[in-house]
Amino acid sequence: MTTQLEGAPEEVVTNSFVRDIDLKPFGFEGTLALITLDNGLDFNRPNTFGLKSLQILDAAITDALSRKPAAIAVTGKPYIFAAGADLSGLAHLASRQQALAIGKLGHDVFRRLGESEVPTFAFINGLALGGGLEVGLHCNYRTMATTALSGLPEVFLGLVPGWGGATLLPKLIGPERAVQVIIVNPLNNNTMLKAKDALTLGVIDAVFEPADFLEHSVTFAASILNGSKKIERVDYSEDANWEKALATGKAAALKKYGGADIDAPRRALELISASRTATRSAGFDAEDETLADLTMSDALRASLYAFNLIQKKRKKVEGAPKPALARKVAKVGVVGAGLMASQLALVMVRNLKCPVVMTDLDQERVNKGVAWVHAEINKLVEKKRMTPEEAGRLTNLVTGSTDQSIYAGCDFVVEAIFEELSLKQQLFKNLEKIVSPECVLASNTSSLHVESMAEGLQHPERVIGFHFFNPVAVMPLLEVARTSKTDDETTATAIAVGKELKKTMVITKDSPGFAMNRLFTRFMGEVTDAIDEGTPVEVADNSLRSLGLPMSPFELFGLVGPAIMLHVSETFHDQLGPRYRISPTIQRMVKDGVKNFYIKNEDGKFVPNPAALALIEKGNKPSTAEQVKDRALRAMAEEARMMLDEGVVATPAELDLSMILGGGWPLIIGGILPYLDSTGISEAVCGKRFHPRGVASLP
């Protein structure tokens, strides 16, 4: 097999350097052959394993063995052990045979460490993910730096740990803990293991501080070799918790993907189950076959596209002005002291670490908002995520008043008041009398026209949309909406603030709903229209289960609330036209105070809410689940094409990013547009694909 796949970017090669360490000073007569993984780049580009890198490691192991050492150890460059397979080439694999060969090569190289004639050690000095951690699992013993993070994120990407992880880890730490690391953690926002957690789970054998990590790790190796330290291993083949563990993993996958049966977690659970009795060779063969199947799937290509998209857009915002145009922000104002405004104040003070001032209509509301921010900061101390001293500094930076003159001296003011245009217009007129002409006036609106808020201002060029998603601290997406008058300095300042807040941003045109809400509302409207036409609630709600969405439409409806849904649909109906229909069912629900289509019964299970069912429009044109799914997806394709033609966002990628980070749509469908392309809906509705060359060709 060649070392370069056609069309794939050139591999960033990770070299493997071998040197001898005399163990006599550490209490053992002999040498340790230390293999250091290093791609020659800084810590922003971790060590990875492509075809050539695997071949180099293979040669290094041969070199190490030729030195007749007492033991072999593998470590990484500063701060990095290895981040696993080089994913950049996977989307360019042309055949299953190629995929099978990559899996087999990784096994053939790594298993030499597990089946070596001398003991092997992994000195995990930094980040160890996927294939990187699997290198360590093949070794006989493992140490880890206290600052290192580790994990097996493959299921998160639509793969399985395919270089030994799915076979070796259950044998090492047992089924329950293995399911936690291989299934539950990746599906929980790709949770990583801290060193102390890895030690508790039994993934590693010892933890040392980074300053003298290598010295302590070599001492640990010597103590194993001279017999002064023994590590006991447990045989988990007869563990009584295998079935329970597998059931836990299955439940986690179903919850993550809204009940859809997704290949990657199911196939990973099959491998974990088989590891109970499988030999190493049989387990590795099964991993090869599974990895080859998944690597050639559309789901993986969509997932890699989505993953790479997130990484790219986190660093560079499409259409952003030059960063040098951004003004310094040394004081921030938040208008409002309700929950959303308080969340904004908290994220601002935590990340910008500058004075944050809040106002509201009366002192009681102001005090409540400021107290909430202070309480949240104190919770971080209780969780040991912040020192008392740092918390004290931050709480002193957050103050409030009913007097808007406290905004004097602010460089950036964001409003989060009631969604009423006239109120926001008057607010900005008042603020313009207080703040400097350079102060940015931002709105957290989700549906109103930002440029209309700036009508009558002397400096409308400093007004911009700055739309967060709830909960603010958790949701990574931030929409930055430019009006026709917003200047580059204002936009650059907003982008700079967003980056300080660690948000991934999409610049949008100042149009109703911006990107995510407009697309999402069109989708939801088709589902509610279907029930108004006579489709049973359960049929409409379950129609999109196969997409793997984290919530069904009406689960999300209950979270957002009918009042907000009605307000948004009415706004879009007025501004975008009759394709955004106003549901009489939702109107009745708002009028009667009915909050959801589902309620919990006596057994704690969610069942249709009789109060909601009684209010549903009695249509006589019911649809099947497949028909509801088809119409919802076709509507999204139509709306996406209109948004691109109108210039709401610069490229289709921004719409995909919005649905992934703002709507929680799974990576395995690439956001939304790659799925519409792959199913033929894009061409059927719009006459062309959104990604003409396919997601595999995109950076």
Catalytically annotated residues: 134, 154
Cβ contact 355:397 at 8 Å:
yes
Whether the CB-CB separation of 655 and 643 falls below 8 Å is answered with yes
Query: Count of residues for the chain?
Result: 699
CA distance 552 to 541: 6
Sign of the Cα pseudo-torsion (594, 597, 603, 605, in order): negative
Distance CA 105, CA 100 (A): 9
SS3 content of the chain, % helix, strand, coil (to 5): 50, 15, 35
Tracing tokens 């999204």 back to the chain, one arrives at 636
594: which residues sit within 8 A by CB, 6+ positions away?
Answer: 562, 588, 609, 611, 612, 615
Contacts of 97 (CB under 8 A, 6+ apart): none
41 forms beta bridges with none
Question: In the numeric block, which tokens belong to residue 419?
Answer: 């969604």
Q: Please give the order of strands across the beta sheet that includes 31-38.
A: 15-22, 31-38, 71-76, 120-124, 141-145, 206-208
In a 3-state reduction of DSSP, which class is residue 127?
strand
In 3D, which of 276, 245, 221 has the Cα closest to residue 32?
221
Please give the Cα distance from 345 to 348 (Å, whole number): 5
Contact residues for 397 (Cβ-Cβ < 8 A; gap 6+):
349, 353, 354, 355, 356
Q: Which residues contact 434 (CB under 8 A, 6 or more apart)?
A: 404, 405, 407, 408
Phi/psi region, residue 322 (left: phi>0; alpha: psi -120 to 50; beta: rest), is beta
